[in-house]
Amino acid sequence: MDTSVKRTLFNIFLVLLFIGLGIGIGVSICSYANRDTSKPEIDVHYDDENSSIPDRFTINPKPEGAKDYLDKTYDHPYAYEFIKGYFVAYKYNTDNERYEYLNSTPCGENCEIASYVHFNYEDLDVGRVVLSSDEKNIIFDFNRGSFGSYDFIEIIQDNDEKYFVAKDGSTTSLMTLYGRQLYSIRGELTDISLAGNQGLDGYMYSIKYNLMVYKENNKYGLLKLDSGIKLIEANFDYLRLIYYGKNEFNPNYVKIKENDKWYLYSIEENKKVLDIGYDQIITVYNDVLVVEDAQKIYFKNLKGNDLVKISIDIPSPFEDIDWNWENISDYVSFKIKDNNIYILLPNDIENLYYSFEDDSIEDNGNYYKNIDAYLSSGGKNIEVYKYYIASRELLKMN
């Protein structure tokens, strides 16, 4: 083969080599540019037997005194009893129609179901329970065993989705119901530092909107619930989500407290969007800001300007916490219905609780009534004000 042919073949080889390298580099660049940079969604259920469960569960030997079978009429798939410092679990066998011994865990003296908060810690349909004793708090899965020992455990939930919030010393962790730890922070995810309180303030988290208030150095901020990524640094006296309906919060704004006044704060812009402070920010719905100041309720736009020239006098200031989700108690509350805003004021009658979800009028001593049905019945126990968002009108309905 002469020199010219060799040179030609070598040149062809180089050309093909460069073309191949170019294609490879191009594909790599395109793959990198089109890569999925989003954080994968986290499934908080893990009720599937085939799920990846961390190897942190402890199966304990059968304690002395535990029965092989529990003589009990069926009411749930699982049953339990306390025996000499042990929590003993049983599972119903449909073949022989009786509860058989399944599992157990030592839980110390004075062990009990941790039912001192307002969520249900005893879930016998799926076989899970939170136990509390003088020494510790543990999470116990009837099939897999126990895991963790904590100073305090809380359950947070929106509808059927739930997480465990577990506090151990100065560290607070968030985990799924089957023990998958999502993250820990040195501080508090919420105000849960004292066991035996009334549970979590419902204005401090939303699973639906992936938001959680956290606390560090006695100041408050906001983070993503599923990842712990901080959206707002903990620089404020208080920070609360803005509620406007059952499990519904404003996903764009929170309220922050500075020098005893509440301000509107944008999550996306990470800054105060209104420099005017109020005694309370009641709700932000559509473009309407409802506030309370000096025991008067005002309807304003997001710049703080009045939408109506009149205000509603109330007998007592709004409290920061302790509002029931759809109910009112004692003095004042609000309701979003048909894209309008209702303000509800009891007429000097204590301990009245109103539910406005049911269509029927039910008078059982606590006066649970539907708004429209209540108004048409001529009820006088509460005053009802309705703010029409479309027409910017405020009317007293009765």
Residues with pLDDT less than 70, the chain: 1-57, 115-120, 159-160, 192-202, 246-247, 318-331, 348-370
Name, in order, each residue with C-beta under 8 angstroms of 93's C-beta and a sequence gap of 6 or more. Answer: 99, 100
Q: What per-residue confidence (pLDDT) applies to 1?
A: 56
Cα gap 162→123, rounded to integer Å:
12
Q: What per-residue confidence (pLDDT) applies to 307?
A: 96
Q: Which stretches of 119-170 are assigned E, i.e. beta strand? A: 122-123, 128-132, 137-141, 145-150, 152-158, 161-168
Quick check: 54 and 179 in contact, CB under 8 A? Answer: yes
Q: What per-residue confidence (pLDDT) applies to 332?
A: 75
Q: What per-residue confidence (pLDDT) applies to 19?
A: 56
Cα gap 193→202, rounded to integer Å:
16
Q: What per-residue confidence (pLDDT) applies to 13?
A: 53
Q: What per-residue confidence (pLDDT) applies to 193?
A: 43
Distance of CA 133 to the CA centre of its chain: 26
What string of DSSP letters covers 13-54? HHHHHHHHHHHHHHHHHHHHHT---SPPP--S---STTS---
CA atoms within 13 A on the CB side of 351: 2
Going from N- to C-terminal start, the domains of the chain cover 56-148
Q: What per-residue confidence (pLDDT) applies to 330?
A: 53
At 326-378, the pLDDT tens digits run 444 456 778 888 889 988 887 765 444 555 555 555 554 444 456 777 777 77
Q: Quick one: which of 159, 113, 160 has its CA closest to 139?
A: 113
Cα gap 147→54, rounded to integer Å:
10
Cα angle 226, 256, 205; round to 5: 25
Q: What per-residue confidence (pLDDT) applies to 344?
A: 82
Name, in order, each residue with C-beta under 8 angstroms of 281's C-beta and a sequence gap of 6 or more. Answer: 242, 255, 262, 263, 264, 289, 290, 291
| Residue 6 DSSP one-character state | H
Cα end-to-end distance, the chain, whole Å = 107
Q: What per-residue confidence (pLDDT) applies to 360?
A: 54
